[in-house]
Structure 1
């Protein structure tokens, strides 16, 4: 057996110090933006979904001219932006403009797509590629005063359906916004024909109505926004978008619609995501706006990025109608729709640093895996007699965990700002060695390193 010589230990300690300082040196600034992946033909990515395993799914949407009559596609990317698989959508209406949005996922990992033509919810199994219709929408007429309640839209114009975003309810129902009909649909648990659950003239943006929707952490309140709204309201209200809260009452009916925030004229609020802090990160898709906006839980506007409307985000590709935001740990996945420019080089998904973790997205029947603690280590193997530097990463809900205690081989260290800790350890006996992660005096996660016997010389 070799002895653990002091010079080697000092060298390893120096390496450990360098590694410990590395996260701080590489720390990202808020809103640091990178191109994660380019989206292939037919392009026009509008909405992304981040699965629990961090696979990113992106659908292709319609274009401004309505000439996209070929099949829509869904692309699957790794967290680093590598294209993993392409799915071609089946059963779309021949000769019509086509587009899908990957709007939801269930506890089994099956994706739920909102298709434009036909107007439906399409279920896609990403493992097998199997597709099937889950729900259907239809054209409803404008509501007529003093007539019995029915499926109708409280609108001025009679527009066709355009399902846009979706959120699960606790009973397994799916709530879907309709961009052109100013309604929130309810697809019953298990699927089937949707029915109008909520409509209001404040959602009537003519062709630009309700867009993003989420179920808030209380699991009793929907948050939704409109790209414009109140077509019968005096200017400039009819051209501004709003962010609303809408309770789901114990009897399953909608409560009172409450406005939280209002955009500027023609800014076009679109997809948004909720941070664990309660802050809302929203994409503004209006022509020549090209910004993300951050809104506090009380409706105060906290920040915009970029500060002007140039779209210059510091990456090689500018914001060109960014249309949706999804959290992946402390970063955001932002789609670049480029709807009016149609520039294929702008069809990308961005990695934008938020600097705070996203709130878990509710999925019926799925345990809150996003809140689990996790501890990983590199390397995972070593040899008896070697003093090595081990780099640990602690996360909670997918985000780096600061200040937690990592213990391994009789030594301990606290994790830094992004959840990293480095320990220099050597072992004199082979076997499976356990490292622990402790929070508030309780061990919450473990990981292991395999120590092999010392190799024998000739």
Structure 2
């Protein structure tokens, strides 16, 4: 992320989701200020935990004068500050910045620190911190005549860990922005190995950035802010790639699916359940989020121009990462070159579609049941009520709907019907249940208003 800022130089909610109006009231791209980020500012990457706590780290500034300790802020889903953590063990006198890049099934956070270049664990309950892995400067393959433990780059740059994704085997894949490679940290931490490097992702100082393990759990998607400097094409454009993880754990064949415009600086991104990719463009005076199809077709940009005007009191000022929280996106506003402290914010941007689950080894996916009813508002009398039940968005078969003293089991499409005579005005509750007949477990509810 620090070099990304030099890329920019070189190349040129009021409410929470739970308390917000119903989703239908928000239009796609509707933007709100989720939270202001305190000193030292410069938020670069956020992480949304399973309990919907939003963690944000502070990063380096353009002057490199941020030699104080970095901080991590924890926000409640409504944007209220819950806790602040001060990072320990950073290199004295160096520019400092951390990114909250991953979380494990125990709730431990994994931070990517710049000085020293390492993965740092943070226990958000106790505040305890420990080094998980340390990155090293590897030589360019070309000048060192090496074929392993090297970077396929022109320049010999120091490491800069940027983003990370878990693998199925609990290994950690970490992009190195300046060394143009992807590290693999073994399960449980330890010495990272150079897992993938290629001249195509060598952007000189501005290489691989965001990385996500796709829902098939066999393919990594990552982007570059620029490159490659020695391969055909415009070296100032960034790309989005897919890279398979082969059964033997080695990388497969790199495949480009999208290319940005010159100097746009693709950075952090998130994947929706539909497969759409929402990607932040941190490049100079770009100030946009781009939406792509799963095949890389560009579907739209927000805002339509590069003004940064998003309809909220704070404009986009180098947005640098995107994370899903339900159907909203948490977007960090880095404001690296403006240095405008009033722009150090995290946004709540409405996507209008849910994000795909982020893979965390050992974490059981949250089960969400839903029950809907039609009609949901009637006058007194006898009516047929049609119910639909889902589990994680898919039709739920074999559950029991209980309403007005009657019950009906859902069919393979998740549907059930009950005929009921309602004589009193007010709200009547229907329950979606499973379990013992005498003590059923309520999975979800729906209400009918009798007026």
Please give the alpha-carbon distance, in whole angstroms, between the structure 2 residues aligned to 1:253 and 1:179.
20
User: Is 1:267 aligned to residue 264 of structure 2?
Assistant: yes
Tell me: CA distance 1:445–1:135, structure 2 relative to 1, closer, same or farther (3 Å): farther
Please point out which of 240, 243, 246 is paired with 2:237: 240
**Corresponding residue of 2:157:** 159
**Corresponding residue of 1:12:** none
Secondary structure at 2:131 match in 1: strand
**Corresponding residue of 2:208:** 210
Correspondences of 1:142-153 after superposition (within 5 Å) = 142-144=140-142, 147-153=145-151
**Corresponding residue of 2:431:** 435
**Corresponding residue of 2:71:** 73
Q: Deviations over 1:21-68 (max 9, x none)?
A: x747x6100000000100000000000000000000000011111110
Question: Does the CA-based 8 Å contact 1:62-1:98 persist in structure 2?
Answer: yes
1:206 Cα offset (Å): 1.0
**Corresponding residue of 1:373:** 369
Question: Does the CA-based 8 Å contact 1:409-1:425 persist in structure 2?
Answer: no
**Corresponding residue of 1:62:** 60
Tell me: CA distance 1:374–1:96, structure 2 relative to 1, closer, same or farther (3 Å): farther
Please point out which of 30, 46, 49 is paired with 1:48: 46
Q: Please, what TM-score do these two structures have when normalized by structure 1?
A: 0.79
1:149 Cα offset (Å): 2.5
Please point out which of 291, 295, 298 is paired with 2:295: 298
Task: Name the Cα RMSD after superposition.
Answer: 3.0
Secondary structure at 1:191 match in 2: coil
**Corresponding residue of 2:138:** 140
Q: Deviations over 1:351-409 (max 9, x none)?
A: 0000000000001111122x532689xxxxxxxxxxxxxxxxx9965x999xx997555
Please point out which of 73, 84, 88 is paired with 1:86: 84
Report the more deviating stretch, 139-148 or 64-73: 139-148
Secondary structure at 1:114 match in 2: strand
Secondary structure at 1:192 match in 2: coil
Tell me: CA distance 1:190–1:234, structure 2 relative to 1, closer, same or farther (3 Å): same
Q: Deviations over 1:167-193 (max 9, x none)?
A: 000001000000100000000000011
Please give the alpha-carbon distance, in whole angstroms, between the structure 1 residues aligned to 2:394 and 2:430.
21
Secondary structure at 1:193 match in 2: coil
Question: Does the CA-based 8 Å contact 2:102-2:109 persist in structure 1?
Answer: yes
Please give the alpha-carbon distance, in whole angstroms, between the structure 2 residues aligned to 1:284 and 1:215.
20
1:424 Cα offset (Å): 7.0
Please give the alpha-carbon distance, in whole angstroms, between the structure 2 residues aligned to 1:66 and 1:373.
49
**Corresponding residue of 2:379:** none
Question: Does the CA-based 8 Å contact 1:408-1:435 persist in structure 2?
Answer: yes
Please give the alpha-carbon distance, in whole angstroms, between the structure 2 residues aligned to 1:313 and 1:437.
43
Q: Deviations over 1:221-280 (max 9, x none)?
A: 000000001011356x20000000000001100000000000000000000000000000
Question: Does the CA-based 8 Å contact 2:371-2:445 persist in structure 1?
Answer: no
Q: Please, what TM-score do these two structures have when normalized by structure 2?
A: 0.81
1:435 Cα offset (Å): 2.6
1:445 Cα offset (Å): 5.5
**Corresponding residue of 1:349:** 346
Tell me: CA distance 1:426–1:249, structure 2 relative to 1, closer, same or farther (3 Å): closer
Secondary structure at 2:25 match in 1: coil
